[in-house]
Chain A
């Protein structure tokens, strides 16, 4: 009995330690965007700040845990460093629970991204080489797949999913 209780206690502690930040963050209400909204997330999400949508300005996105991916792309010359929030972090922050994401660009180009791609380290880049990306240079947001660290990803499908001038995400 004692041993079972001990194991259960350890498991409980572990669960709390690991789950607490998620739960805390998931439970955190999203602040209102104060600046120009550059990303709007809709669909199967739990955290919203604009009706059934979650609207983000640049500051809100950059307030989220930032990650960096260094890679080259078929549309740029040389290798660049991209910084932004990872898709996984964003989905977790919003308590998203879908399997497919419809990503749309400013020019209304839409592409379907499986939610499982979040595990590949997909980044919603806000900066290239530390500089914010203007619309004229594929900004403000660009979905970056780590093509250099995972060369097997490079291909027609991945290139299609690497949508720039990202405007919105719809989780379903």
Chain B
């Protein structure tokens, strides 16, 4: 059907419906009106019929009354009744109201006959009223004759009024119902027709709309496919490329000539690998097989690397009809970002610091390996999901909520020390840096505020604490050394001057002893002076020993000899009630040492041991042994003995009252001599032990100790490159153990004995601005068999030397003198006599300009004041004996 005829049909149908409805309504109205008119006219018609009959009866009555009473009233009444009856007849015959009743059979003929008779009756009535009674009979007969038919006419409708009226009503109702049914049926048919027409039209419209929509959708789809940022292909069930968009060609520029509908897909794949577009380690055929295998299932998603470095994410899905939709997306940037992220994650994982991420509830969302290790959460113990506060000791948990998190939020970071609770229950001090992250945007507030999570960086502070402790110990030691240095400078200054005085006293006293008669009273006094001088000198030596330990001269000695030499002295210093045991090894103990100082150390230690024992029944044991160097196999010493490089170390434990203290760093050596002095005395309390090496510190009553004994022991030992270990327990005793580096045993060989004393008289010039010191020295050298000239200053000495240089074999000069100093004297003399033996005496070896000494040439001996005569004599002897020219006497 064309659209035109469709429209026409619709209009025709519409018009027909309209016509039908109008006709129906018109008919309905007409029916209704007719019904009502007919009904009404029937009623009124009957009424008029009855009225006519009633008036006829009244007329007859009026006629009879007139015949009985011929009054005026009766006459008028009769006349009026006749008129009234007359008036009734045309009403029935003509009026609209009686139209229905006229249809009743007999009504019209009857009334027409009455109408025809009326003029006749009028005439007869006039005659009657005029007095002709004979008219009465005719009238009354006519009237009576009329009563029956009128009554009959009236009866029919009146009887029927009840029955017929109802019948009429029923008939009308039936008619109405029929009409209604017809109306409903017609309306239904029309509605159905209209509805069918409407449905048909709507279907047509829908179809047109759907077609338009489909067309638009196709256009949109095409636009979308072309503009979408992904390569899209569709391969039909036969393996032909059906659809390919622009992005796809841009992804594979080298294949764009083949990327067109109709291309065989497998051939296309083959080309893509054959042309080297795709990066693969496989050959074309195996690659193709693998690629096709991916596409055979329902679909797959995988990444493809192209030769130019780009990475495409490929998603393939099978359609219901066996086609294959493939979507390619360039994920190169994503891949790079992922790799960068992985690298950064690796960096985080590689960090020595533990790094963790926390959510807004301060629960771990990530913890690096270092972090987990720090908290001991290894293996199955995962930190993720747990609260940070569970990793803290209870004291720090409160701080976390009250201080750390609020401050981190307020200042952008919180950094500080906390104590972490490890998984195994142990604690570890850590430093953490808590840095809030931006709000993660998730709704709701956490109990720590409504912002984002945190980054937590944690560092193990154990090492740092240890290092800090070590640094503090070093600082303490440095202060200790500084204190000793200051005291040493002070002491050496005093000792230098004091030594000069002592040298003079001793020198002169020695002269007196020599000159005075043996056994005389004067000589005993002189000898006392010498002894007192010796003791004074020892005191000064102790001061110097602690102060300038390195200044003393050392030579290889067998420690056994030193101990043996001191044995009697030591035994004598200890009360006889106290057993004194000495244990010496069989082999020599070669040590580069100063015999005097070692003796002094032994004496000090034994006296301290004696004082510690006091009245107890204790004993003193002195042992000497050789121990191997640390790390040497077979060494039997405990670590506390001598291991460790730290200069001052305190150990032991306070509860048992034991203190282990070690001082001095051992010089490297193949082995060490261990010299121990043990007593069963009262022991040393820790507080005392810590200070016992301080100079002038003493626990002994005044006059009994100088407070320099152990200072000297420490100074001497350290000066020898040794180490002291003190192991003491209150009430149990103390052991002082000295470790001294072993020397080369070969060095123990004694030098050749000197030539007989007095056989050679070498000329010696002694120069000293201090006449007492120089005089005493000169006197003692003379006693030793030398030809001695004493000069008070450098000029005098040089004059003397210039006068007879050959007569002078040696010169012993003070270093510091007014005018020409000792070094200048030595230099000038050496310039003249390079083989001259020069001995420089000085109170302080540090003051010597070593370079000047070396520049002076020759071999200059340096001796510390106060000059030990034995050392001086030995040196002179050694040097003078080697002189080529032996002075002949």
Contact = CB atoms under 8 A, between A and B. Distances in A.
A34 interface: no
B40 interface: yes
B549 to A, nearest CB: 148
B51 interface: yes
B83 A74 contact: no
A107 B40 contact: no
B58 interface: yes
Interface in B73-106: 80, 83-84, 86-87, 90-91, 94-97
A135 B51 CA distance: 15
B55 interface: yes
Interface in A10-48: none
A165 B84 contact: yes
Interface residues of A, number: 15
B87 A77 contact: no
A136 B83 contact: yes
A156 B95 CA distance: 15
Nearest to A155: B40
Given A107-B55, A156-B40, A74 B84 contact: no
Contact of A134 (B44, B58, B83): B83
The listed residue with most A CB atoms (<10 A of its CB), out of B54, B55, B90, is B90
A107 B86 contact: no
Interface in A76-126: 76-77, 106-107
B219 to A, nearest CB: 69
Nearest to B79: A135
Nearest to B94: A77
Contact of B80 (A76, A135, A138): A135
B96 A107 contact: no
Contacts of A136: 83, 86-87
Contacts of B90: 137
Nearest to A105: B84
A153 to B, nearest CB: 16
Contacts, number: 36
Given A106-B80, A135-B80, A165-B87, A75 B96 contact: yes
A77 B44 CA distance: 17
Contacts of B58: 107
A63 B90 CA distance: 31
Nearest to B89: A136
Contacts of A107: 51, 54-55, 58, 84
Nearest to A138: B87
A164 B88 CA distance: 11
Interface residues of B, number: 17
Nearest to B36: A156
A37 to B, nearest CB: 12
Contact of A75 (B54, B83, B95): B95
A74 B91 CA distance: 10
Contacts of A164: 87
Interface string A148-163: 0000000010010000
Contacts of A106: 80, 84
Contacts of B83: 134-136
A73 B84 CA distance: 19
Nearest to A108: B58
Contact of B91 (A75, A134, A135, A156): A75
* Dominant secondary structure of chain B at its interface with chain A: helix
Nearest to B118: A136
A31 B94 CA distance: 40
B709 to A, nearest CB: 149
A28 B727 CA distance: 168
B289 to A, nearest CB: 103
A114 B87 CA distance: 27
A77 B54 CA distance: 25
Interface in B571-623: none
Contacts of B40: 156
Contacts of B44: 159
Nearest to B96: A74
B124 to A, nearest CB: 16
Contact of B95 (A76, A134, A137, A165): A76
Contacts of A74: 95-97
Contacts of A77: 94
A77 to B, nearest CB: 6
Nearest to A135: B83
B87 A137 contact: yes
B119 to A, nearest CB: 11
Contacts of B91: 75
A74 B55 CA distance: 21
A74 B54 CA distance: 21
Nearest to A72: B96
A136 B80 CA distance: 9
A76 B95 CA distance: 6
B84 to A, nearest CB: 6
A108 to B, nearest CB: 10
Nearest to B76: A36
Interface string B47-86: 0000100110010000000000000000000001001101
Contacts of A135: 80, 83-84, 86-87
B316 to A, nearest CB: 88
Contacts of B87: 135-138, 164-165
Contacts of A137: 87, 90
A147 B83 CA distance: 27
B94 to A, nearest CB: 6
A125 to B, nearest CB: 15
A75 to B, nearest CB: 4
A136 B91 CA distance: 11
B878 to A, nearest CB: 170
Interface string A123-144: 0000000000011111000000
Nearest to A36: B76
Contacts of A165: 84, 87
Contacts of B96: 74-75
A136 B55 CA distance: 12
Given A137-B87, A156-B40, 20 more contacts: A74-B95, A74-B96, A75-B91, A75-B94, A75-B95, A75-B96, A75-B97, A76-B94, A76-B95, A106-B80, A107-B51, A107-B55, A107-B58, A107-B84, A134-B83, A135-B80, A135-B86, A136-B83, A136-B86, A137-B90
Interface of A: 74-77, 106-107, 134-138, 156, 159, 164-165
Interface of B: 40, 44, 51, 54-55, 58, 80, 83-84, 86-87, 90-91, 94-97
26 contacts: A74-B95, A74-B97, A75-B95, A75-B97, A76-B94, A76-B95, A77-B94, A107-B51, A107-B55, A107-B58, A107-B84, A134-B83, A135-B80, A135-B83, A135-B84, A135-B86, A135-B87, A136-B83, A136-B86, A136-B87, A137-B87, A138-B87, A156-B40, A159-B44, A164-B87, A165-B84
Smallest CB-CB A-B distances: 7 pairs: A135-B83, A75-B95, A136-B86, A74-B96, A136-B83, A74-B97, A136-B87
